[in-house]
Amino acid sequence: MDKAFVEKMKQKLLEMKSEILRNLAAENEDFKEIVETDDSKDLVDVASTDIDKKTLDALSAQELKRLRLIEAALSRIENDRYGICMKSGKIIPKERLEAIPYALYRVEYQNEIERRNR
């Protein structure tokens, strides 16, 4: 996968992560206090170092799942494994990654997983 595309996706993932954390800060006074009292950190740093059980409890289940998927995608970028289907080992199409930057699987395997989980 070309480096320019991966960098573009990394920025998109970081923006998504920041949005989740901003929404959390707006809804949760404890998290908002953590963000406001530590001027040395941006939201991404706060997420990496200061999310504790109390903060995670404030996340909705869906937001928590999305945050974990985003973190995993960022980790795959760092390990040069981004955009590779976890099931087949084939490249996930760019169009899919643009729509869902944290996608783990190619469409056909995602559909299979969803059918099994019904």
In this predicted structure, the answer to whether residue 41 has a pLDDT above a threshold of 60 is no
Distance of CA 3 to the CA centre of its chain: 19
Q: Which domain holds residue 8?
A: 3-83
* Global model pTM greater than 0.85: no
CA–CA gap between residue 98 and residue 93 (Å, rounded): 9
pLDDT tens for 54-90 read 555 656 778 888 999 999 999 999 999 999 999 999 9
Q: Is residue 90 part of a domain?
A: no
Q: Is residue 12 part of a domain?
A: yes
**Number of structural domains in the chain:** 1
Q: Is residue 36 part of a domain?
A: yes
Q: What is the mean pLDDT of residues 12-30?
A: 82
SS3 of 85, please?
A: coil
Q: Is residue 35 part of a domain?
A: yes
